[in-house]
């Protein structure tokens, strides 16, 4: 299995360009099932999760052409001939569940193996099921799979007990082809939901309010093909912002959308980093002796993103003072603390709170394991500043969500080698 070997480097300096957003492109690719006309998706990040979504689309009968050089994918879902997604694909990526809404809307049926839990928590799909039931689907769940059947979906009021990103997206996609109006109350407000709504509206859907907690969808009879460029990845943006700060560097992050990373900017400023909104992107500087502790609580957007909690944990081990991190979205997302302890950090975890002491002792290199995507990236960031040499194993997690992570860091002066 591949791993990263990271040597301590000085400040990262230079420019880096952000790729298209993983969490936007996955539902957008799933949404191409909703039409029998071809859709062209641009600015697609080349990630293993994208690869899995392409395999899922092919598995249900879509034709998928990937142009890696152009970062473009064309999906022609005219020939959909199956509505079943097997476990060997679902187990590779939870976001497979995004195909449930489109499949049921297009074919009247969807059968998926259950994604099960993952290292960051149990991750149920009850809200996806609740929403599709409200639209008239008959849903049967057993130990292994979920089966959804609805010859015709009907618009409805759907109240989400929690603003789940995936459930909001699944319901929005299904409701686009339902009869009548659907309102999603307590909807998630993430930028990726707005991007999906923009894509669906280009296909002929009638969606209003995406980006607020109340989304109104007027169902249409048919959707058509279109072309769409994916928004830049706000989590990759945030990760490089933290890379600049933790290495006390000076990095211009091109293609970043400041509006999508407001809480990350706010927390970096609280830590004493400098963040400037320049014409070409966001410039982040981590001044050598000035960085100090801060407290973080993850919340649904526009609160501080759970996906940025791990990179910040690495950063906060290197600043002056003691910080706290409270994770409220996933029940088991503080595992990074254990791996960072192997590098000399002295983080105490109590329930959903981590207490992170600052830089009395610098981190040292160690053999550590990426327990999930963001924790993996955070370990690489820690490795950049740890004395000596750090090996991060299980980097397939990192490659699910960061395009050319090592190359991008190395272009800023890091020394990260990928070895098999």
Nearest residue to 210 via CA among 169, 160, 156, 264:
169
Q: Where does 294-407 show beta strands of DSSP type E?
A: 295-297, 323-326, 348-350, 353-356, 367-369, 389-393
3-class secondary-structure state, position 384: helix
At closest approach, how far in Å is the CB of 208 from ligand UD1?
21
User: Residue 22 or residue 248: which is nearer to ligand UD1 going by CB?
Assistant: 22
Instruction: Please report how close the Cβ of residue 234 comes to ligand UD1 at its closest, in angstroms.
Output: 11
φ and ψ at residue 28, rounded to 5 degrees: -65, -45
Catalytic residue among 39, 54, 59, 118: 118
The residue among 117 and 151 lying less far from ligand UD1, judged by its C-beta, is: 117
- Closer to ligand UD1 by Cβ: residue 43 or 76: 43
Active site residue 271: no
Residue 266: phi and psi, rounded to 5, are: -60, -45
In the complex, least distance from residue 96 CB atom to ligand UD1, rounded to whole angstroms = 10
Q: Are 368 and 392 in contact (CB under 8 A)?
A: yes
φ and ψ at 119, to 5 degrees? -65, -20
Instruction: Identify which of 152, 150, 149, 206 has the alpha carbon closest to the alpha carbon of residue 183.
Output: 206
Write out the two tokens for 201. Answer: 């509206």
User: Whole-angstrom Cα distance, residue 179 to residue 160?
Assistant: 20
Neighbours of 362 (CB within 10 A): 14
- What is the rounded CA–CA span in Å between residue 286 and residue 208? 40
Which residues in this chain contact ligand UD1 in the complex, by CB under 6 A? 23, 26, 95, 121, 123-128, 162, 164-167, 188, 192, 306-307, 329-330
CB of 93 to ligand UD1, least distance (A): 8
Least Å distance, CB 32 to ligand UD1, is 16
Eight-state DSSP code of residue 17: E
CB nearer ligand UD1, residue 9 or residue 99: 99
What is the spatial distance between Cα 119 and Cα 243, in angstroms, rounded to a whole number? 24
Query: Inter-axis angle of helices 165-176 and 22-31, to 10 degrees?
Result: 30
Rank residues 12 and 329 by Cβ distance to ligand UD1 and give the closer one: 329
Which two three-digit tokens encode residue 253?
């992050």
Of the two residues 165 and 382, which places its CB atom closer to ligand UD1 in the complex?
165
CB of 241 to ligand UD1, least distance (A): 17
The residue among 165 and 366 lying less far from ligand UD1, judged by its C-beta, is 165
Residue 165 and residue 188 in contact, taking contact as beta carbons nearer than 8 Å: yes
Burial of 382 from C-beta contacts in 10 A (0-12 / 13-18 / 19+)? buried
The least distance separating ligand UD1 from the CB of residue 115, rounded to whole angstroms, comes to 9
Secondary structure of residue 277 in the 3-state scheme = strand
Closest distance to ligand UD1 from the beta carbon of 418 (Å): 23
* Measured distance CA(273)–CA(284) in Å, rounded: 7
- Shorter beta-carbon distance to ligand UD1: residue 169 or 339: 169
The DSSP result for 131-145, as a single string, is HHHHTT-EEEE-SSE
Active site residue ranges: 118
């Amino acid at each position: 299995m591949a791993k990263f070997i990271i040597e301590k480097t000085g400040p990262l300096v230079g420019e880096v360009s952000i790729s298209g957003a993983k969490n936007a492109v996955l539902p957008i690719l799933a949404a191409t099932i909703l039409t029998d006309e071809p859709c062209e998706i641009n600015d697609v990040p080349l990630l293993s999760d994208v690869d899995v979504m392409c395999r899922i689309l092919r598995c249900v009968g879509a034709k998928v052409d990937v142009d890696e050089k152009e970062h473009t994918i064309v999906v022609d879902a005219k020939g959909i001939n199956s509505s079943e997604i097997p476990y060997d694909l679902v187990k590779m990526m939870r976001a497979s569940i995004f195909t449930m809404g489109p499949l049921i809307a297009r074919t009247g049926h969807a059968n998926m193996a259950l994604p099960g839990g993952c290292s960051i928590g149990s991750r149920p799909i009850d809200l996806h099921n609740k929403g599709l039931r409200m639209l008239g689907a008959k849903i049967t769940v057993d130990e292994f799979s979920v089966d959804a059947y609805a010859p015709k979906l009907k618009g409805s009021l759907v109240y989400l007990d929690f603003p789940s990103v995936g459930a909001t997206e699944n319901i929005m996609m299904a409701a686009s082809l339902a009869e009548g109006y659907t309102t999603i109350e307590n909807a998630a407000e993430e930028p990726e939901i707005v991007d999906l709504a923009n894509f669906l509206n280009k296909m002929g859907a009638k969606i209003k309010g995406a980006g607020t907690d109340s989304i109104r969808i007027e169902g249409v009879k048919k959707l058509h093909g279109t072309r769409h460029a994916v928004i830049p990845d706000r989590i990759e943006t945030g990760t490089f912002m933290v890379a600049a700060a933790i290495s006390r560097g000076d990095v211009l992050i091109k293609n970043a959308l400041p509006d999508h990373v407001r809480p990350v900017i706010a927390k970096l400023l609280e830590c004493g980093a400098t963040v400037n909104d320049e014409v070409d992107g966001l410039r982040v500087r981590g001044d050598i002796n000035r960085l100090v502790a801060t407290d973080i609580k993850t919340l649904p957007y526009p609160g501080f993103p759970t996906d940025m909690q791990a990179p910040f944990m690495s950063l906060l081990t290197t600043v002056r003072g003691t910080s706290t991190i409270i994770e409220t979205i996933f029940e088991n997302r503080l595992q990074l603390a254990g791996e960072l302890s192997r590098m000399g950090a002295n983080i105490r975890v109590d329930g959903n709170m981590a207490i992170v002491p600052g830089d009395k002792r610098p981190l040292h290199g160690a053999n550590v394991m990426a327990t999930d995507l963001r924790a993996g990236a955070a370990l690489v960031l820690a490795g950049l500043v740890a004395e000596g040499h750090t090996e991060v194993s299980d980097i397939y997690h990192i490659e699910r969500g960061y395009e050319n992570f090592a190359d991008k860091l190395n272009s800023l002066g890091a020394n990260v080698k990928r070895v098999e």
